[in-house]
Amino acid sequence: MRRIHPELSRMLAAIAMLTAVTTSTTAQQARGSGGLPPRDEWQRVPEILAALGVTEGQRVADVAAGQGYLTKPLARHVGKAGRVYAVEIGEESLQALRELAQRDSFANVEVVAGTPTDPRLPENIDAAVILNSYHEMTDYAAMLEGIRRALKPGGRLVLVDNMFLPGQGSSREEQARRHALDPAFVDAELRAAGFEIVERQDGFILQPFAQWLIVAKRPVQGQ
């Protein structure tokens, strides 16, 4: 049997390893991050857009927009005549959002550098959403006040976040450290900030993990 040169053998082994890693990575991307199903299969974005109640030409804020997962469908939903204010505080996320806004198909996206206490939104926007990030906001009262102030009377705020599970603590702080919240806390915080609760779905998403949805609005009168 003909012997393979040691250098050639090492090269073939490296190619085999690279092929295996590439195949594994491609399969993981098809499944979704961390082996989860693709996010579009479970995040229920159409229902979130419906809960916001925005239509073409309106203005909506994506608060704590991250890399723009929800910003993109929001931008398509309100169309060229509408406006999406993508709010973030981290420079990496802000840069990703700025790159997104430079694309022709997302020219209606305006990137806003907020702070932990102020989303820095313009006045009289039609709606706002916080997706999977409300539990991270330590000064949530100030953020809610900033959003309420920016919303037009009757404007909606939609929050979607992780449901706390048994063993994740009874206090708000304990739950937030585990990236979850009892929606009862959020319900009370929204009311304290001057919002009216329109809808609450504690079982909005059940799999691959539980999430709740709350729809609130700035009152039409007196606020």
pLDDT tens per residue, range 51-83: 999 999 999 999 999 999 999 999 999 999 999
Check if the beta carbon of residue 201 is closer than 8 Å to that of residue 213: yes
Nearest CA to 149 out of 193, 91, 100 is that of 193
Instruction: Note whether 5 and 76 are same-domain residues.
Output: no
Angle between helices 71-78 and 91-101 (to 10 degrees): 30
With respect to residue 223, please indicate whether it lies within any of the assigned structural domains. Answer: no
As a whole number of Å, the end-to-end CA separation of the chain is 87
Between the CA atoms of 93, 96, 97 and 101, what dihedral angle is there, to the nearest 10 degrees?
Answer: 170
Instruction: Note whether 86 and 178 are same-domain residues.
Output: yes
- Checking if the pLDDT of 86 tops 50, the result is yes
Query: How many domains in the chain?
Result: 2
| C-alpha span between 138 and 100 (Å, rounded) | 28
Check if the beta carbon of residue 97 is closer than 8 Å to that of residue 71: yes
Residue 22: pLDDT band (50, 70, 90) is very low
| C-alpha span between 49 and 114 (Å, rounded) | 23
Instruction: Note whether 43 and 27 are same-domain residues.
Output: no
CA-derived radius of gyration, the chain: 22
Mean pLDDT of 16-37: 44
With respect to residue 123, please indicate whether it lies within any of the assigned structural domains. Answer: yes
Instruction: Note whether 9 and 82 are same-domain residues.
Output: no
- Checking if the pLDDT of 19 tops 90, the result is no
With respect to residue 73, please indicate whether it lies within any of the assigned structural domains. Answer: yes
Could you tell me the CATH number of the domain that includes residue 122?
3.40.50.150
Instruction: Note whether 116 and 54 are same-domain residues.
Output: yes
With respect to residue 172, please indicate whether it lies within any of the assigned structural domains. Answer: yes
Instruction: Note whether 18 and 70 are same-domain residues.
Output: no
With respect to residue 164, please indicate whether it lies within any of the assigned structural domains. Answer: yes
Instruction: Note whether 20 and 57 are same-domain residues.
Output: no
| C-alpha span between 44 and 21 (Å, rounded) | 31
- Checking if the pLDDT of 174 tops 60, the result is yes
In angstroms, how far is CA 142 from the centroid of its own chain?
19
With respect to residue 222, please indicate whether it lies within any of the assigned structural domains. Answer: no
Mean pLDDT of 81-108: 97
| C-alpha span between 191 and 42 (Å, rounded) | 29
Instruction: Note whether 96 and 198 are same-domain residues.
Output: yes
- Per DSSP, the three-state class of 148 is helix
Residue 160: per-residue pLDDT: 98
With respect to residue 104, please indicate whether it lies within any of the assigned structural domains. Answer: yes
Range of the domain at 14: 1-31
pTM assigned to the model: 0.84
Instruction: Note whether 67 and 177 are same-domain residues.
Output: yes
Q: What is the mean pLDDT of the chain?
A: 88
Continuous segment of H or E residues that includes residue 64: none
Instruction: Note whether 146 and 58 are same-domain residues.
Output: yes
Secondary structure percentages of the chain, helix, strand, coil, to 5: 40, 25, 35
With respect to residue 145, please indicate whether it lies within any of the assigned structural domains. Answer: yes
Tokens linked to 195: 């919002």
Say which residue, 48 or 24, is predicted with more confidence.
48
Instruction: Note whether 101 and 183 are same-domain residues.
Output: yes
Instruction: Note whether 85 and 175 are same-domain residues.
Output: yes
Beta strands in 89-210 (DSSP E): 109-113, 125-131, 151-162, 196-205
